[in-house]
Structure 1
Amino acid sequence: MIELTLNNGVTMPTLGLGVFQSPPEQTSAAVQTALELGYRHIDTAAAYRNERQVGDGLRRSGVPREEVFLETKVWVSDYGYDKTLHAFEKATGKLGVDTLDLLILHQPAPSRFAAVLDAYRALEKLLADGRVRAIGISNFMPRHLDALLAESDVIPAVNQVELHPYFSQPDVQAADAAHGILTQAWSPIGGITFYPGWGEDRRSVMDDPTIGEIAAAHGKSPAQVMLRWGIQQGRSVIPKSVHPDRIAQNFDVFDFTLGGDEMTRIDGLDTGHRSGPDPDEARDDAFDRVIDEA
């Protein structure tokens, strides 16, 4: 397993299991399977409503807590200094842990920027107190990042964004790199193509002929090629699955290398069209969703 070093010296496995939209009743088994296969990095979020099941899977696996890099996210309805400190308590209570390896603000919510800043200051406090080992952001575009950095003391360690061959966000990657922030890819194999109202291009990356040709040349699947592409470019990738065979396949990406021309061909697939929500859009109904207590 390749490890990445964050800007505060904390190390993180480059590949993890994501559980976005994993049904709670399937999440525990998926996490247990992943950890038994060798995964040591799990990504969840308060808004996914499956943190409790992630904790169950961790305990059922028998893998010691200190061996697993565990990250979760604070939802917008819990933004604000005191509310975000309480969000940490809710998350750790559901997960059944005392500390988190990475705690992230889930959305930039520019229409609620004052609350974003207060929430981030709470993350800084949790970091200073040793309750979290690293702090980060998600879905922040360069303009959101600049606004945050102008008002904060700690540079985020991670920015988790939609990133796959059809939407590689080079401007976001460049802005992150300029500040020493690790770009983490959600939907790294392009599976997020079902958000109603977003995305102008619904083609599945899995069916792309270029990806298929490269996969055939290496005796690998399209998903494995896309994960390898992200890993070789120095990103963290967190593919989601609840199927044991796919969880295993997604982890089997460390025994081959893509050539420079293959990497260039994949880079050339970018359409510039996102499949997930626009981070600038004020989605009050979603943002106001109440996160349950632990």
Structure 2
Amino acid sequence: MTIQKETKLNTGAIMPLIGLGTWKSNPGEVEIAVEIALKNGYRHVDTATAYSNEKEVGIGLKASGVPREEIFLTTKLNNIDHRDVPGALNKSLELLGTSYVDLYLMHWPAPMTPDWKADKSLSWIDTWKEMEKVYLAHPEKVKAIGISNVSVAFLEDLLKVATVIPAVNQVERHPSCIQDDVLDACTRAGIVVTAYSPLGSDKSPLLENDIVVRIAKKYDIAPANVLVSLQVNTPNVNVLPKSVTPERIIANLKVVDLTEEEIAELKTIEKTSHFRACPPGWTGWGNLGFPDC
């Protein structure tokens, strides 16, 4: 295989293949992680209102010295903010200290009340319509909109009514939860897939998996680099490895060309070791149409 050189969104924008994920990255750590990442070649940073670190991410962006126009910045609409998309976006921009985001995602297709219970009186499709309105009315604030944690069944429902086709669907993707059905559906619709939790989880068993370790030894790289390489060797996919450790942040940029046989072998891991780092059942909306990974 040959590593793709770039990911082009349906808006025409170019999205960097490897971005810094900031889920579970705490204030006090994440601003330093963002600064280090950008100073060492990253040009995509991913955050979310639900991570409670947008302010610190913004501090890191400025501390890096990298011009804002060179950075692809993603944030996400929180589940409890589905009733006020414009207000939620403006709050994120204020915390991030920027006038625009390159990509604004619906974090989950699961509207929730302020006390984090499923809001069954509101359809996530209606929320998407509100995101479309903000995107069309304020291109100076949001350059692209997309979805996250959306299964094939939910995507099919959205595509029946969407005026703006999502630019991205960000989903959990690693050898124990490969979700090729989601990737295939998104590719047919012209939607890029961003893989989060590419290592599986903190202290992931994938890092000790025999197949992953054997491939890592062949290329003289760390098992984590094999898992990141799997994503960037897959057409229409970019990836968000996460770390707050300077050495690991830098090391995660090292990717290799995997053979088709190695990719196929990595995908067999799901048959014997399947799990999610972020199962959708917590939302109170069932499994959101996802099969068991």
When normalised by structure 1's length, the TM-score is 0.87
Out of 149, 159, 172, the position equivalent to 2:159 is 149
CA shift, 1:277, in A, is 4.0
Name the amino acid aligned to 2:109.
P
- Structure 1: tracts of 5 or more residues without a match: 194-202, 285-294
The match for 1:160 is: 170
- Structure 2: tracts of 5 or more residues without a match: 112-117, 286-293
Q: Does 1:122 align with 2:124?
A: no
Contact 1:140 1:279 in 2 (8 A): no
Structure 1 SS opposite 2:270: coil
The match for 1:77 is: 80
Tell me how far apart the structure 2 counterparts of residues 18 and 40 of structure 1 sit (CA, whole Å).
Answer: 12
Name the amino acid aligned to 1:245.
E
Alignment of 1:9-28 (within 5 A): 9-28=12-31
Alpha-carbon displacement from aligned partner over 1:218-261 (angstroms, at most 9, x marks no partner): 011111111111101021100100000000100122xx311121
CA shift, 1:188, in A, is 0.7
Alpha-carbon displacement from aligned partner over 1:16-36 (angstroms, at most 9, x marks no partner): 000000011100000000000
Alpha-carbon displacement from aligned partner over 1:26-49 (angstroms, at most 9, x marks no partner): 000000000000100000000000
Alpha-carbon displacement from aligned partner over 1:94-116 (angstroms, at most 9, x marks no partner): 00011110000001127648342
Name the amino acid aligned to 1:260.
E
Alpha-carbon displacement from aligned partner over 1:103-156 (angstroms, at most 9, x marks no partner): 000011276483422321222122212021111111001111122222321111
Between stretches 132-141 and 122-131, larger displacement belongs to: 122-131
Alignment of 1:81-230 (within 5 A): 83-109=84-110, 112=120, 114-128=122-136, 129-130=138-139, 131-191=141-201, 204-230=205-231
Tell me how far apart the structure 2 counterparts of residues 227 and 109 of structure 1 sit (CA, whole Å).
Answer: 28
Tell me how far apart the structure 1 counterparts of residues 110 and 212 of structure 2 sit (CA, whole Å).
Answer: 34
Tell me how far apart the structure 2 counterparts of residues 243 and 41 of structure 1 sit (CA, whole Å).
Answer: 17
Name the amino acid aligned to 2:31.
S
Q: 1:53/1:117 Cα in 2 relative to 1: closer, same or farther (>3 Å)?
A: same
The match for 2:291 is: none
Q: 1:282/1:257 Cα in 2 relative to 1: closer, same or farther (>3 Å)?
A: closer
RMSD: 1.9
Q: Does 1:53 align with 2:52?
A: no
Name the amino acid aligned to 1:252.
K
Q: Does 1:233 align with 2:234?
A: yes
Between stretches 35-44 and 105-114, larger displacement belongs to: 105-114
Out of 30, 34, 49, the position equivalent to 1:31 is 34
Contact 1:109 1:280 in 2 (8 A): no
The match for 2:43 is: 40
Q: 1:14/1:276 Cα in 2 relative to 1: closer, same or farther (>3 Å)?
A: same
Tell me how far apart the structure 2 counterparts of residues 257 and 6 of structure 1 sit (CA, whole Å).
Answer: 23
Identity percentage of aligned residues: 39
Tell me how far apart the structure 2 counterparts of residues 165 and 44 of structure 1 sit (CA, whole Å).
Answer: 23
Contact 1:227 1:250 in 2 (8 A): yes
